[in-house]
Chain A
């Protein structure tokens, strides 16, 4: 006789693929992965009905460590792959993951359009402000002035705030998390997956190898939470928590409930097109090409 309830059917450990991460000891991405295991368990998501997709970079190795369907694609194209999976199979839970170079530089265009479409996918962007896999070059989120392997004299360019970008391009759920705060990150991840529409979770995930050991300590000192009375449905209120310098605010910055997702809109088109009629046969499609005189 089993006493197992539905709630405990999948434990966090059940989502481990058995493959050991290649990440450096102390990498922030471990925190993101652990939060994801816990969030999946919390939501009791069936592994075989879930797809995790990524591009290229340290963080893009993540799908290999989760026992769902997974796809580690090419640099910058996690969201196009996720678009195909979600639109072709709206029944699946689809999560895209990757780093700041993958999602904001080479793949930046896809972030804008996925947000605009309100694609019903969760996108977890692990932000370490550096290119880690290629050994320490400047990234779109690297602060101005920072020395990296490719900015010997200091970064001459301004950086981008990923949350500001996602909010301004149409994402319906935007949050910032910190990989050193796995408990809260688990909650944010679960909320992101539960959201119907494009949910964008920007996780500050330090790189101990190329950004120094002090980052965790500094970030923990700056860490604060979005206040309880924050008006998350207001774009203006949300943007107030972007481009921060002295503090790191985590939590749900922006959230609107009533936006139809891309899948909702395409379903509506499908209903309107078919009008409840059966699919035409090939012969019926062809007959339309007889001159209708």
Chain B
């Protein structure tokens, strides 16, 4: 049976070029309108060490990394062993492995987790590369030819991707690599069509954009009008800094790599105070350092956008892997009562929109806004349509000429939002403060001032909740089981729900983009429409579940939790497994009730 959806995984050491190979596959697929998702995983080494690249290619839209690897390419079994438990092969997977691997898999003396139904094909990758291209380095290119021929990948596009990759090198380099590609194709042909049943079936279409979540976050910020970025490098957020270091000056803006995260958030608050839309990007450890000044932005009511690309924690944790456990830090991190807004993009496209929404909210409500991205969406590359990437931009409310005559920066208004000047506006001078202050901005330690100003600052969150609550709802409004999740868990959950709906099961999902202020109304409506609830998250201590309990009446005996540590991306299979159990339990319960 021809396939419409294939997941390829390549494993090797640094220098084997597995990531380069994945890049070229993704580019070739995107260029002919295929839907692609590419995920990389590394060991902690700076150079060398094990690396893997997974590319899912499909003729139809996809929402998650493939659960099961259909085609596994192993240059080195010792490297594969290090990803054990993270790379799961399909029962009928095709395994293409280097026949001259110095550590044959028999010597590993371990269960590789590859099922008995797998088809094993030894390939002389190194030999073919040396013979065709004159260097063992070309084995990834040989592999591209092999995969292209065996699985009906767009071969012309792959060849264009190879030529583009080596375009800056000598002509002979391009030529020899194309010979490597041809050698792979030829070897595939020698297998006498043994895998014809696994070829990808698709209809070519218009080229798609190929972006990572970090790139989408950065472009979204520029679209929103961000013209000042201050940041400190930290995995897995640094690509935002890298992209903006090139493009920000091109946009007429400025970028400073600061001495630490304290300086980064300080500079962002300074830039924004001065009237320029400003942003920083970091990960959990950096957000921890920024926490004091997050409170300053809340107190002084200065718009600020902070992107936190979550990684495994606490402390240094798992710098290159994803987790959803910065939630409480983002929601509650600060001393005092410090209002802020927390948004969570759920995929690459959403990273663009979340950046723009973050600036709109920050400017309109004069609050710090934290965007909780995570490594899984930030560093993967996926195909997008240009058409979906637009978003209305909102600016800051400045005082009228009349208001400037008796300017009160922190005027207590119905919405809580007071018009804000910036330097250069004559008559709009004010002194702002991390100290509690009155409507003019003068410091005050009086209880009545503190109570009134706390109320004013928190009142702004109502405006945000009413205007900016945005969520995704998949499946029917009335369902037997409803899944609630957030952020990057959306992909596998959505795919599980769509498959269940396809089987006629009444299952739905709710994924909020605005996490705080809590859009209780939208949550309650969803909860009322479902019989049983599953909360899904990658946090060992169940931060999201406990957060929901704070604001939401989750029915006893009807609420289930699927949570685990990050470090491994959530799969559709995990969600389906939990879903099946809860469905069964619900059916049993209904049987008893009848």
Chain A interface (Cβ < 8 Å from any Cβ of B): 17, 19, 46-51, 53, 56, 61, 63-64, 66-74, 76-77, 79-89, 91-92, 109-110, 112-113, 262, 266, 269-270, 272-274, 279-280, 282-283, 285-287, 289-293
A72 near B433 (CB under 8 angstroms)?
yes
B287 at the interface (CB under 8 A from A): no
Q: A91-B424, A285-B247, A293-B28 are in contact. Are A85 and B274 (CB under 8 A)?
A: yes
Instruction: Find chain B residues with CB under 8 A from A69 CB.
Output: 273, 423, 429-431
Q: A49-B423, A74-B296, A87-B228 are in contact. Are A286 and B161 (CB under 8 A)?
A: no
Taking the nearest CB of chain A, how far is it from the CB of B368, in angstroms? 13
Instruction: Find chain A residues with CB under 8 A from B246 CB.
Output: 273
A48 near B427 (CB under 8 angstroms)?
yes
Taking the nearest CB of chain B, how far is it from the CB of A179, in angstroms? 22
Contact of A77 among B247, B251, B293 (CB under 8 A): B293
Beta-carbon nearest neighbor of B268 in chain A: A84
Taking the nearest CB of chain A, how far is it from the CB of B29, in angstroms? 9
Taking the nearest CB of chain A, how far is it from the CB of B303, in angstroms? 12
A113 near B424 (CB under 8 angstroms)?
no
Instruction: Find chain A residues with CB under 8 A from B49 CB.
Output: none
CA distance A87 to B266 in the complex (A): 12
Interface centre among A51, A109, A286 (most CB of B within 10 A): A286
CA distance A77 to B264 in the complex (A): 10
In the assembled complex, 24 residue pairs joining A and B whose CB atoms fall closer than 8 Å, in A order, are A19-B442, A47-B429, A48-B425, A48-B429, A63-B431, A69-B423, A72-B431, A72-B435, A73-B293, A83-B258, A84-B273, A88-B272, A110-B266, A113-B258, A113-B259, A262-B256, A269-B249, A270-B252, A273-B246, A279-B252, A291-B27, A291-B30, A291-B210, A293-B28
Instruction: Find chain B residues with CB under 8 A from A73 CB.
Output: 266, 269, 293, 296, 300, 434
Q: A73-B434, A89-B275, A283-B386 are in contact. Are A293 and B160 (CB under 8 A)?
A: yes
Interface residues of B in 223-259 (CB under 8 A from A): 223, 227-228, 230, 246-247, 249-252, 254, 256, 258-259
Measured as residues with beta carbon below 8 angstroms from the partner, the interface class of chain B is 35 or more
Beta-carbon nearest neighbor of B255 in chain A: A266
A273 near B443 (CB under 8 angstroms)?
no
Contact digits for B276-308, partner A, Cβ 8 Å, 1 yes 0 no: 101000000000000011011000100000000
Beta-carbon nearest neighbor of B442 in chain A: A19
Contact digits for B428-452, partner A, Cβ 8 Å, 1 yes 0 no: 1111111100000011000000000
CA distance A270 to B251 in the complex (A): 8
Contact of A70 among B26, B227, B259, B432 (CB under 8 A): B432
A77 near B209 (CB under 8 angstroms)?
no
Instruction: Find chain B residues with CB under 8 A from A63 CB.
Output: 431
Beta-carbon nearest neighbor of A110 in chain B: B263
B270 near A85 (CB under 8 angstroms)?
yes
A85 near B266 (CB under 8 angstroms)?
no
B266 near A285 (CB under 8 angstroms)?
no
Beta-carbon nearest neighbor of B30 in chain A: A291
A282 near B389 (CB under 8 angstroms)?
yes
B426 at the interface (CB under 8 A from A): yes
Chain B interface (Cβ < 8 Å from any Cβ of A): 26-28, 30-31, 157, 160-161, 163-164, 207-211, 215, 219, 222-223, 227-228, 230, 246-247, 249-252, 254, 256, 258-260, 262-276, 278, 292-293, 295-296, 300, 386, 389-390, 423-435, 442-443
Contact of A274 among B28, B228, B250, B386 (CB under 8 A): B250
CA distance A61 to B433 in the complex (A): 10
Instruction: Find chain B residues with CB under 8 A from A17 CB.
Output: 431
Instruction: Find chain A residues with CB under 8 A from B435 CB.
Output: 72
Q: A74-B293, A279-B251, A282-B222 are in contact. Are A64 and B273 (CB under 8 A)?
A: no
Q: A19-B442, A49-B424 are in contact. Are A82 and B429 (CB under 8 A)?
A: no
A87 near B254 (CB under 8 angstroms)?
yes
CA distance A85 to B293 in the complex (A): 16
B273 near A280 (CB under 8 angstroms)?
no
Instruction: Find chain A residues with CB under 8 A from B263 CB.
Output: 77, 79-80, 83, 109-110, 113
B426 near A48 (CB under 8 angstroms)?
yes
A64 near B258 (CB under 8 angstroms)?
no
Q: A291-B161, A293-B160 are in contact. Are A84 and B266 (CB under 8 A)?
A: yes
B266 near A270 (CB under 8 angstroms)?
no
CA distance A17 to B433 in the complex (A): 15
A109 near B260 (CB under 8 angstroms)?
yes
B431 near A71 (CB under 8 angstroms)?
yes
Instruction: Find chain B residues with CB under 8 A from A109 CB.
Output: 259-260, 263
A266 near B247 (CB under 8 angstroms)?
no
B219 near A286 (CB under 8 angstroms)?
yes
Beta-carbon nearest neighbor of A18 in chain B: B442
B434 near A88 (CB under 8 angstroms)?
no
A266 near B429 (CB under 8 angstroms)?
no
CA distance A282 to B228 in the complex (A): 17
Instruction: Find chain A residues with CB under 8 A from B267 CB.
Output: 80-81, 83-84, 87
Beta-carbon nearest neighbor of B247 in chain A: A285
Contact of A83 among B256, B272, B425 (CB under 8 A): B256
B386 near A83 (CB under 8 angstroms)?
no
Taking the nearest CB of chain B, how far is it from the CB of A116, in angstroms? 9
B259 near A110 (CB under 8 angstroms)?
yes
Beta-carbon nearest neighbor of B36 in chain A: A291
A64 near B270 (CB under 8 angstroms)?
no
Instruction: Find chain B residues with CB under 8 A from A92 CB.
Output: 274, 423-424
Q: A279-B252, A286-B389, A289-B215 are in contact. Are A71 and B276 (CB under 8 A)?
A: no
Beta-carbon nearest neighbor of A67 in chain B: B429
Taking the nearest CB of chain B, how far is it from the CB of A198, in angstroms? 14
A50 near B423 (CB under 8 angstroms)?
yes
Instruction: Find chain B residues with CB under 8 A from A272 CB.
Output: 249
Q: What are the nearest 10 A-B pairs in CB distance? A: A84-B270, A80-B266, A70-B431, A88-B271, A84-B267, A273-B249, A293-B160, A84-B271, A88-B276, A291-B27
CA distance A285 to B428 in the complex (A): 36
A285 near B230 (CB under 8 angstroms)?
no
Beta-carbon nearest neighbor of B215 in chain A: A289
CA distance A56 to B423 in the complex (A): 22
Beta-carbon nearest neighbor of B209 in chain A: A289
Taking the nearest CB of chain A, how far is it from the CB of B310, in angstroms? 24
CA distance A292 to B293 in the complex (A): 42
CA distance A41 to B209 in the complex (A): 57
Instruction: Find chain A residues with CB under 8 A from B219 CB.
Output: 282, 285-286
A87 near B271 (CB under 8 angstroms)?
yes
A88 near B429 (CB under 8 angstroms)?
no
B423 near A89 (CB under 8 angstroms)?
yes
Q: A73-B296, A289-B211 are in contact. Are A84 and B269 (CB under 8 A)?
A: yes
Instruction: Find chain A residues with CB under 8 A from B26 CB.
Output: 291
A291 near B423 (CB under 8 angstroms)?
no
Contact of B269 among A76, A81, A89, A283 (CB under 8 A): A81
CA distance A91 to B250 in the complex (A): 20
Instruction: Find chain B residues with CB under 8 A from A53 CB.
Output: 270
B250 near A77 (CB under 8 angstroms)?
no
Taking the nearest CB of chain B, how far is it from the CB of A254, in angstroms? 22
Instruction: Find chain B residues with CB under 8 A from A112 CB.
Output: 259
CA distance A254 to B228 in the complex (A): 32
Taking the nearest CB of chain A, how far is it from the CB of B336, in angstroms? 12
CA distance A80 to B160 in the complex (A): 47
B432 near A80 (CB under 8 angstroms)?
no
Instruction: Find chain B residues with CB under 8 A from A280 CB.
Output: 247, 250-251
CA distance A99 to B506 in the complex (A): 65
Contact of A282 among B28, B223, B273 (CB under 8 A): B223
Interface centre among B164, B208, B251, B427 (most CB of A within 10 A): B251
